[in-house]
Chain A
Amino acid sequence: MTSPALAVSPSASARKPARFKSLVTKYRVPLSILALCLLPWLLPSKALAVNVLIYGTVAVGYNLLFGYTGLLSFGHAAFVGTGAYITGIAIGQFGVPWYLAVLMGVIGGALLAFVMGALSTRTRGIYFSMVTLALAQLVYYVALQTPSWTGGENGLRGFTVNKINLFGFEINFLDPVNKYYVLMVFAALALWLVSRILNSPFGAAIEAIRENERRARTCGYNVERTKLLSFTLSGTICALGGTMSALHLAFVPLDSLHYLSSGMIVMMTLLGGVSSFFGPFIGALVFLVMEDVFSLWTSHWQIIVGSIFVLFVLFLPKGIWGTFLTKVMR
């Protein structure tokens, strides 16, 4: 995963196609948001569009850690799930207004990410992946063993959001189009935030760590603190995705905390391309559309998706969007 970060900085050898690339990079946030606006009208169903929106956000947030900091976490389902559970519990059991419940979910996910990050970033390389997976499983079993809060194996129900009050307007949240555009505001905010982080000096620091940790340390970066901050930020964005998912489904399945869900996030990110800002979003889109199409054919769609993923790792490690950007470069 140590390819030069495409679509992050215009290359020194700027040729004509490269200009296209630098334009894409420069206006990546408005372009992404434009794509989000069009999305529901390009996909077979509005529900699928909402799913793509949620998991696209999660994958872009996850990629802050995986693609840009070079840390392969297998535990990010813990933050998606925690965000979703806290939002659901806050609405269902305490009658908290939806926007506060979203905020609580995000803060809760951020705190968990900070604690998990503090433990796991003490370890290196392969160890890191194993530790994040194990810690996320700990969260999964805690949720399994506290059914009075989480509903245990059956998942969490009973917090349907029907109407949303926005500036005095009542919006029917059950209408898929309304739902999409309300949640899109959060997704757009998250995309802008990630882009902003990547353009900041901190963004340069995490890429320095990815390229060569020892050199980054020698240059005077505080590697441990930078890793931990990157971990926490990416976990926070994932938690936001989780709260969106809770609002969308009015249900939180226990499996949303399982490491297989973490693996799904990893797969989406890699399918789209880890070396670009918007790649993971494309990956989530492709993954969910594949799931949608293949599950019509067979209940064993996972064998197809798994095989495709294996082929991607072998032959197209830059992913769809990453490969496309590279081809445009030449």
Chain B
Amino acid sequence: MDTELILMQLFSGVALGAILVITALGLSIIFGMLGVVNFAHGALFMVGAYAGLWVASLTGSFWWGLLVAPIMIGVFGMAIEYVLIRPLYGRSIDDPLLLTFGLSYVLVEGVRIVFGSDGIPFPTPSSLTGVVDLGVGFFPIYRIFVVGVVFLVVVLLWLGLEKTKFGLIVRAGARDPTMMKVLGVDISKVWLLVFGLGVGLASLGGVLSGPMRSVNPEMGALVLAEAFVVTVIGGLGSLVGSIIAGLLVGVVISMTALFAPEMATIVMFALMAIVLLIRPQGLFGKLA
């Protein structure tokens, strides 16, 4: 085992982790604000990847796909919140979860009808192919790009939540929605936007992961399980937890792949079990 190989593997873990971070962030933001665990998150990640592919093939440019698909699917997410999830507020906490699970069935089958059941290759844009020599090993340009995009998105999110009026309303609404209503804030608009934002993040993760994974209708199932593992390790509703746990899981998976490939998928669940034994609320979670 030479250092170069380990470094390259470490970096590919960070790139994988970046995708996990952006997916789990969407899940966490939706939960923190709406108290809803979106079981269609994996399916929407998959729909996002297909939407990115579709826009890219229409315009002939990956960049349009990367920009337009998350906005498109985010708006679609708002429609889901408005039509399907809104009637369930005030009912049992399980109901939105069950509904979104049923919705994921519909989305996966819908994609099969439109795009077929087989996987579709998602070409890496030509400007991002190849590797770059950083002196300590060769790194794929596309993965560096993915990490950069995710970093940018996380910074923008942080600025948006910490420094804007809308962010203030979101954070206050997550803490005490009743008080927000009393103060005259139309909290339902905030819910709509937050759900759209979370879904948009999932579909951005889908588009970004396209060239790294194959795109097929079943890809969402594993993504959902991964996002859950990250969220459980990091602590539900904690954005910092999502970021740290996402990177941790990504690195652990790729390091395991180096030494024991057959354990790569299993190891993240084992990690989750260990965290649960030590801290049932997750690393950054508050005790319910």
Residues of B contacting A303 in the complex (Cβ-Cβ under 8 angstroms):
105-106, 109-110, 113
A314 an interface residue at 8 Å Cβ cutoff? yes
Shortest CB–CB separation between residue A52 and chain B, in angstroms?
20
Q: Is the CB of B231 within 8 A of A123?
A: no
Chain A hits for B265, CB < 8 A = 141, 144-145
Partner of A310, one of B31, B35, B103, B280: B103
Residue in chain A with minimal CB distance to B113 = A300
User: Contact between B269 and A138 (Cβ–Cβ < 8 Å)?
Assistant: yes
Residues of A contacting B: mostly: helix
Number of A-B contacts (CB under 8 A): 119
- Any A CB within 8 A of the CB of B135: no
Inter-chain CA distance A124–B276, complex, in Å, is 12
- Complex CA gap A305/B109 in Å reads 10
Q: How far is the CB of B217 from chain A (nearest CB, A)?
A: 11
A1 lies within 8 A of B236 (CB): no
Which residue in chain B gives the minimum CB-CB distance to A127? B236
Residue of A nearest to B27 (CB): A130
Interface pair B97/A119, CB less than 8 Å apart: no
Question: Count of A residues near B, CB < 8 Å?
Answer: 40
Complexed CA–CA distance, A111 and B15 (Å): 38
Q: Mark A295-319, 1 if CB is under 8 A from B, else 0.
A: 0000010110111011001100100
Tell me if A130 and B269 are in contact (CB < 8 A).
Answer: no
Chain B positions 103 through 135: 1 when the CB is less than 8 Å from some CB of chain A, otherwise 0: 111101110110000000000000000000000
In residues 4-62 of chain A, which contact B (Cβ within 8 Å)? Answer: none
A2 within 8 A of B: yes
Say yes or no: is B54 at the interface (Cβ < 8 Å to chain A): no
- A260 contacts B by Cβ under 8 Å: yes
**Given A127-B232, A134-B232, A306-B103, is A122 in contact with B276 using a C-beta cutoff of 8 Å?**
yes
Q: Does B87 contact A (CB under 8 A)?
A: yes
| Other-chain contact of B106, A1, A133, A137, A307 (Cβ < 8 Å) | A307
> Would you give the shortest CB distance from B123 to chain A, in whole angstroms?
27
Contacts of B113 in A (CB 8 A): 300, 303
Q: Is the CB of B262 within 8 A of A306?
A: no
Q: A123-B280, A309-B102 are in contact. Are A130 and B88 (CB under 8 A)?
A: no
> Within the complex, what minimum Cβ distance (angstroms) separates B92 from chain A?
5
Contact with A along B227-255 (1 / 0, CB 8 A): 01101100010000000000000000000
Cβ of A152 to closest chain B Cβ, rounded Å:
11
With both beta carbons as reference points, the residue of chain B lying nearest to A315 in the complex is identified as: B87
Are B99 and A145 in contact, CB atoms less than 8 angstroms apart?
A: no
Q: Which residues of A contact B273 (CB under 8 A)?
A: 119, 135, 138
A179 to chain B, nearest CB (A): 30
Report A238 CB to chain B, min CB distance, Å: 18
A145 CA to B263 CA in the complex, in Å?
8
Q: Which residues of A contact B187 (CB under 8 A)?
A: none
Q: Does B6 contact A (CB under 8 A)?
A: no
Instruction: Return the CB mask of B265-279 against A: 1 if under 8 Å, else 0.
Output: 110011011001100
The answer, yes or no, to whether B225 is at the interface (CB within 8 Å) is yes
What residues of B have a CB within 8 angstroms of the CB of A72 in the complex? 94, 97-98
Of chain B, the residue at the smallest CB distance from A263 is B101
> Are B277's CB and A119's CB within 8 A?
yes
> Is A80 close to B, CB under 8 A?
no
Whether A129 contacts B97 by the Cβ 8 Å rule is yes
Q: Does A268 contact B (CB under 8 A)?
A: no
A98 within 8 A of B: no
Closest-CB distance, A319 to chain B (whole angstroms): 12
Distance (whole angstroms) from the CB of A30 to the closest CB of chain B:
32
Query: Complex formed: what's the CA distance from A137 to B93 in Å?
Result: 23
A137 touches B105 (CB 8 A): no
Minimum CB–CB distance from A116 to chain B (whole Å) comes to 10
| B residues less than 8 Å from A259 (CB atoms) | 221, 225
| Closest partner residue, chain A, to B231 (CB atom) | A130
The answer to whether A134 and B225 touch across the interface, beta carbons within 8 angstroms, is yes
A126 within 8 A of B: yes
Please provide the chain A residues from 256 to 271 with a CB less than 8 Å away from any CB of chain B in the complex: 258-260, 263, 266-267, 270
Q: Is the CB of A266 within 8 A of B98?
A: yes
**Interface membership of A220, Cβ < 8 A:** no
Give the interface of A toward B (CB within 8 A): 1-2, 72, 119, 122-127, 129-131, 133-135, 137-138, 141-142, 144-145, 258-260, 263, 266-267, 270, 300, 302-303, 305-307, 309-310, 313-314, 317
A sample of 12 cross-chain residue pairs with beta-carbon separation below 8 angstroms, ordered by A number, consists of A1-B92, A72-B97, A123-B276, A129-B94, A141-B265, A141-B266, A258-B221, A303-B105, A306-B102, A309-B98, A314-B84, A317-B95
Q: List 13 additional A-B contacts (Cβ < 8 Å) besides A72-B98, A134-B229, A303-B109.
A: A1-B95, A119-B277, A133-B224, A134-B228, A138-B266, A138-B273, A141-B266, A263-B105, A306-B103, A306-B109, A314-B87, A314-B99, A317-B95
Across the A-B interface, give the 8 residue pairs with the lowest CB-CB distance, nearest first.
A306-B105, A138-B269, A303-B109, A309-B102, A306-B106, A310-B102, A302-B109, A313-B99
